[in-house]
Amino acid sequence: MRIINRKPSRVTALALGLLPFLATILVYAIASHYRRLDNPADKLLPSLESMGNAFWRMAAVPDRRSGDLLLWVDTADSLWRLGSGMAIATLLALTLGIAIGFIPHVRSALAPYIATFSLIPPITILPILFITFGLGEASKIALIVVGTAPVMVRSTAQAVLDIPREMIIKAETLGASVWQMITRLVLPQVLPKLLTALRLGLVPAWIFLISAEAIASTTGLGYRIFLVRRYLAMDVILPYVVWITLLAFLLDRLLLALSRRTFRWHHLGSDAL
């Protein structure tokens, strides 16, 4: 049988999926082992055990200075910033995206502006945000919004334009007003695609969050890894990176599950990733 026609069973698929992860851990463990043979105090590739200890210390032992459990404080602060930023970006995508995609006059007025705005590298705006909003939460949230909203607005507007013209005309012949078409046709057709835009927007959102926290902050996951970088504390940095990745992965899966549950009709045809 040709290899393209061979399908793995469920168990094989799971095992194959785990393989690269296990291989990475194994390669790391071997490399770390040999480095520490040369120098037991090596900081670059700490042992899995010392990383586990460091992670436990961050998660379960109160900080000596503040008395906080640092991992959870960092996680809560970062997720709050990420969540607020993405909530604002999603709201903008929904309102502006539908207006631009559905109403030609608004499209003429705003589409070129949003397209231009989306080309500004968001990080270049960060100093401006720090100057105008100060170093508090607002500037970090604003960076996430500036970095993700324009692209999400554009993809939502495109999703509206992709609604088959036939459906819109059919709604007109059924006597719908523009508002009714937005609530009963455009919104439900666009929401699953907005969730996809949100999932894709989370990738740059994490980048902007960590960047903003690294530059000016006193808490947060990004702040922590850039803080301990000064002491070459790889035993903290590496578990934090894994933790951030895990959070991003769980958020993505959560949104996918939400989409499957809420918009069953959208997933009836061919399924996407």
Partner 1 sequence: MTGAPKLSVRGLTKSYDGMPVLERVELDVDTGAFCTIVGASGCGKSTFLRILLSQEHPTRGTILLDGHPLPDEPMPDRGIVFQKYSVFSHLTVAENLILASEFEKAPLSGRLFGRARMSALEGIDDLLMKIGLCAAKDKYPAQLSGGMQQRLAIAQALIKKPSILLLDEPFGALDPGIRLDMHELLLGLWEELGMTIFMVTHDIHEAFKLGTRLLVFDKIRHDPQAPEAYGATITYDLPLNGQSGKSQNQPGDIADALRPPVLAQTTITQIR
Residues lying near partner 1 in the complex (CB under 8 A): 164-167, 169-177, 179-180, 183-185, 188-189, 263-266, 268-269
Output 9 or 173, the one with its CB closest to partner 1. Answer: 173
Q: Provide, rounded to whole angstroms, the least separation between the CB of residue 190 and partner 1.
A: 10
Q: Provide, rounded to whole angstroms, the least separation between the CB of residue 195 and partner 1.
A: 14
Output 20 or 175, the one with its CB closest to partner 1. Answer: 175
Cβ neighbour number for residue 149 with a 10 Å cutoff: 25
Output 43 or 264, the one with its CB closest to partner 1. Answer: 264
Distance CA 235, CA 54 (A): 6
- Both tokens of 257, joined, read 């599950």
Q: Provide, rounded to whole angstroms, the least separation between the CB of residue 99 and partner 1.
A: 18
Distance CA 266, CA 155 (A): 17
Cβ 82 vs Cβ 148: under 8 Å:
no
Output 21 or 179, the one with its CB closest to partner 1. Answer: 179
Q: Provide, rounded to whole angstroms, the least separation between the CB of residue 165 and partner 1.
A: 8
Output 140 or 266, the one with its CB closest to partner 1. Answer: 266
Q: Provide, rounded to whole angstroms, the least separation between the CB of residue 266 and partner 1.
A: 7
Cβ 122 vs Cβ 143: under 8 Å:
yes
Q: What are the residue ranges of helices labelled H in the chain?
A: 10-38, 48-60, 70-102, 104-117, 122-133, 137-161, 165-173, 178-181, 187-215, 221-228, 234-262
Output 43 or 184, the one with its CB closest to partner 1. Answer: 184
Cβ neighbour number for residue 67 with a 10 Å cutoff: 7
Q: Provide, rounded to whole angstroms, the least separation between the CB of residue 268 and partner 1.
A: 4
Distance CA 58, CA 242 (A): 14
CA-based R_g, the chain, Å: 23
The closest of 112, 89, 71 to 204, measured between CA atoms, is: 89
